Homo-oligomer: A and B are copies of this chain.
Amino acid sequence: MPTAAIVVDVVRLEEQMLLKALGEYMNVNMVNVRSRALEIGIDGFDAAVIRPISMYRAAYTAASFEAAGVFTVNSSQTIMTAGDKLLAYTQLAAARIPIPRSFYAADVDAALEAASRLGYPVVVKAPVGSWGRLVSRADTPEELEQLARMRQELPCSQTRSMIIQEYLDSGSSDIRCIVVAGTLLGCIKRVAQNGEWRSNVALGARTEVYKPDPVLEDITVRAAAAVKGFFVSIDVFEDDERGYLVNEVNGVPEFKGFYRATGINPARRLAEAILEELKH
């Protein structure tokens, strides 16, 4: 019987579902990375499901296990790429997956130049950060300059970096799909509250099932592959002219809302896929 670690910093409903699902197929240890150190290149698990909320904790945990040949879901590379919107966009673009038109801007002047090429309004994002934090919309060069200048006062070099992006009037909704081991499990649609243009559940968005068509299935499966993701969620916008655009990939996906809306248990599917993988 294989042994697996579920690595956490905080235990949410998702981690309890994973513990139950994996426990039906293998010996499982819950490892809290805040109190346990990981020796690089030394560890005795067959697989590790990486669940820390902090992206760096997740990536460093995955990397430490990988150095010892453990099969990690996801790999450190996937966590680092998906967790960084700019790296994710570049991998998606390289794989010819449609994304919103986006620029990398290192500083205030570059941000203004990007916006002058895009036209206003523009969205300004940091490459890292969750739940809509550090995402703004600038309607004029004056507003963009102020937001960009303020951002340069932030202490982390990664959050001073900016993605300047076209503003998509997608009816304030987006679609979230979950892919496990190359198969699309299903999709939900998140609809923002009145007056809020960001469709984050943390900002009050509500959730309903969304039936994917073959185009969406193709895009999401290819998006997961573009970031080498074994178990990822993918956020998609619908654009009237261009169709589906991938906006974000998540390498440590939350799936509580997905499970409630669809009845599909991603933890169970993941457990089966890991078992299958370990057989090879």
Contacts and interface: CB of A to CB of B under 8 A. Distances in A.
A117 interface: yes
A208 interface: no
Given A56-B161, A106-B57, A69 B86 contact: no
Contacts of A147: 146-147, 150
Interface stretch (A19-27, A152-160, A168-176): A152-160
Contact of A63 (B36, B90, B134): B90
A41 interface: yes
A106 B157 contact: no
Contacts of A102: 39-40
A265 interface: no
A101 interface: yes
Nearest to A77: B77
A239 interface: no
A102 B94 CA distance: 35
A133 interface: yes
A2 B59 CA distance: 37
Number of copies: 4
B37 A66 contact: no
Contact of A76 (B87, B101, B133, B139): B87
A104 B64 contact: yes
Count class of interface residues, chain A: 35 or more
Contact of A66 (B33, B56, B94, B143): B94
A106 B33 contact: yes
Nearest to A103: B37
Given A37-B104, A89-B67, A57 B161 contact: yes
Interface string A136-149: 11010011001101
Given A39-B101, A61-B104, 10 more contacts: A37-B111, A41-B94, A60-B86, A63-B87, A63-B91, A66-B90, A67-B90, A67-B93, A136-B150, A153-B159
10 contacts: A37-B111, A39-B114, A55-B157, A60-B87, A66-B90, A136-B150, A139-B142, A153-B159, A154-B154, A156-B157
